[in-house]
Structures are given as structure tokens and as C-alpha cells.
Amino acid sequence: MEDESKDDMDLIWDQTLELFIKIHDCPDNPEYFERLVHWLNEDPAHLKAFNELGQIWISTGIALAREVGQPLIDLERDQAPLMMH
């Protein structure tokens, strides 16, 4: 049972990354946003994984900014909030 749950989470993370990358690479493609909205509404675990990925993305950007000495306020400007359900 635990292996099945891990396999389910691995699949969810794979789907999360796929959708995130597609939207990141083609932000003007409405098809990707429609797929994302539909997918997020299928299961609360999808929204949880997508928000976790968003937090990782933001944290990585902050860490990189600190590394190069960029003011963090520059990262916060014009940031869209994470998806809420």
C-alpha cells in the first residue's frame, strides 16, 4: 500500500513538472492553462504538489539572488500569487 502511494505521488510530481515547464516555456498558450486548471481540480493532491513546486521555484530564485547579491525586493515585484483553490 505504501509503495502504491509513493507511485501515485511520483506520478503527480511528474505531471506537475510537465505542466509547470510547459507553462513556463509557453506562457501565452491558453491550452496549457486550461489543462492546468482542469488537472488542479481533479484532485486536492494536484494543487498541493503544484503549490509545493511553486514554493521550491521561489526559494530557488531567492537563494540564487542572495548568491549574486540581487536585492530580494526585485524578486517580489510583479510576482503572481500561487494558485489557490
Q: What does each C-alpha distance from 79 to 1, 11, 35 come to in angstroms?
A: 40, 28, 22
**Could you state, in order of their start, the residue ranges of all structural domains in the chain?**
2-76
CA neighbor of 82 nearest in space, from 51, 41, 47: 51
pLDDT of residue 58: 84
Structure-block grid coordinates of residue 23: 507553462
Residue 40 · residue 83 · CB < 8 Å: yes
CA–CA separation, 33 and 35 (whole Å): 5
In this predicted model, what pLDDT tens digit does every residue of 28-77 receive, in sequence order?
999 999 999 999 999 999 999 999 998 998 888 777 777 666 665 665 56
